[in-house]
Structure 1
Amino acid sequence: MLSWRVVRRMFCVAAEAKAAPVSSSRWERLRNSKAAVWCRSLLSDYKEACRDIVVGAREKPIKASVYMSILGGAWACFHTKPDQASFEAALLDCSNQLCLLSPWIRNATSDGHVQSLLKLRNEGRLRHISLGFLSLIYRTDYDSAVMLYEAQCSNLSVPWKELPLRMLDVGFVGRWWILDSKMKDYDVNEDEFKHLPPHMRATSPPGVEEVERNEGLHKESRLVLLMESEEDIEKQMHVIDREQENVSHDVSVKELKREETEA
């Protein structure tokens, strides 16, 4: 009885071994894993999305061009937004331009704005924040290195609702717009002309004729001065001497006639 059980068990093990599938390789197990199936489905979705984009662009080229222009403009704005280093460089450049001018001819608005920004910069109270497509410069009450409780406590920091009141400049497409607007006509002191009548304060651009006349005078001033030869100079001197002799002869004749008439 025991031998029969052993034989039957051997036959069962052989049958199970024959019916068992062949073990797969490591690459096949990786391909059939859940992560591989998820990646294939994700790539398939992206492939279908790209195909739909291409088909939609062919069917509606104007709409696609508008979308591409918006995306390109957003990308350009994001990569050309200025940072705090560029603001400090622009501020120092404006300060140097004003320093080259006399205090009597500086624009009071430009000078006051630049001097206030320089004071905040020296005190360490200027802050920079990036909003994706543009940058903002605002002021704070304390320097970041100050160890006072009011400066370090997060609950006493500047709230977001006060940011518009503390904003000093806006950086967009590589420019600081408020600083540039304040530096317009920085070399014109408007206080010098406040006593003039209104019609003399306003200036108008020159006309076409005036511009052409000024350009002609400028070209004539750059012409080379031609030196005359010695012979031409001697001839001119000879002509001048003869004219002087004729004038002196006429004067002497007039004096003789006057003397005769008086006698």
Structure 2
Amino acid sequence: MLRIFRKAPSAFENIQAKIKFPEKFKGTILEKWADYWKNLFIDYRQMLQDLRSDVQDEPIKALKWTAGIITATALAKNNPTETDFKDSLKRISNEVALVNEDCLNPKSVGHIRYLAMCYNEEVLHYKNFGLVSVMYVKDLNDSCDLYKAHCSYMQPTYLSLPSKIVDVGFMGKWWNLYIKTTNYDVNV
């Protein structure tokens, strides 16, 4: 790959020497447009040459950056969506419905019922932060037009926001739902 970077400057200079801009377009917007793209290409070529020299000078640092970028990309690609949360909730609700009530874990069933109630009241919301997704509960749904919904003094504070988080999605899984419903069929 480094060979490509070494050959690119000479190849570009050869092409630039062969292509001449016609006299009738000199001083027009087309010449300015062509100069813009030529300068942009030169800037990117210089950036790639600097990158090549930086990689050769500090290969460990380049490896760390590459690993970090690949990890962040993998996390972002596997970030669960609200649809994944709904599917997981429906799947676990269906599985719980098949188990006898004497065998059910009351904490798991209570958590599932709470989430279903939040969906019915339309107070459960989804937020994507790129690498991590969050399901959180609001006090009122968006269609509510009470005084409490508009008064700035009655809005939640930043310190109360962590208590509103219901679930955190990371690496393709909603972790709180997974942890609380793993042993749904073990009555403790």
Please say whether Structure 1 and Structure 2 have the same fold, judged by a TM-score greater than 0.5.
yes
Q: CA RMSD in A?
A: 2.4
Residue 25 in structure 1 maps to residue 53 in structure 2: no
Cα distance, 1:149 vs. partner? Answer: 3.7
Match of residue 168, structure 1, among 166, 169, 173: 166
Aligned partners of 1:140 and 1:158 also within 8 Å: no
Cα distance, 1:188 vs. partner? Answer: 0.9
Distance 1:78 1:66 in 2: 18
AA of the residue aligned to 2:64 = V
Alignment of 1:77-226 (within 5 A): 77-151=75-149, 153=150, 155=152, 156-190=154-188
Cα distance, 1:148 vs. partner? Answer: 2.7
Greater RCO (Cα-Cα under 8 Å, separation 6 or more): 2
What are structure 2's unaligned runs of at least 5 residues? 1-22
Aligned partners of 2:96 and 2:104 also within 8 Å: yes
AA of the residue aligned to 1:42 = L
Distance 1:29 1:122 in 2: 63
Structure possessing the higher radius of gyration over alpha carbons: 1
Q: What are the Cα deviations for residues 148-171 of structure 1, in whole angstroms up to 9, with x where unaligned?
A: 3433x2735444442211111101
Task: Give % identity.
Answer: 28
AA of the residue aligned to 1:148 = L
- Residue of structure 2 equivalent to 1:228: none
Cα distance change on mapping 1:123 and 1:58 into 2, 3 Å: same
Aligned residue pair count:
166
- Residue of structure 1 equivalent to 2:54: 56
- Residue of structure 2 equivalent to 1:223: none
- Residue of structure 2 equivalent to 1:66: 64
Distance 1:31 1:52 in 2: 30
TM-score by length of 1: 0.57
Distance 2:116 2:26 in 1: 66
AA of the residue aligned to 2:82 = Q
What are structure 1's unaligned runs of at least 5 residues? 1-23, 191-263
Q: Secondary structure at the match of 2:28?
A: helix
Distance 1:121 1:183 in 2: 18
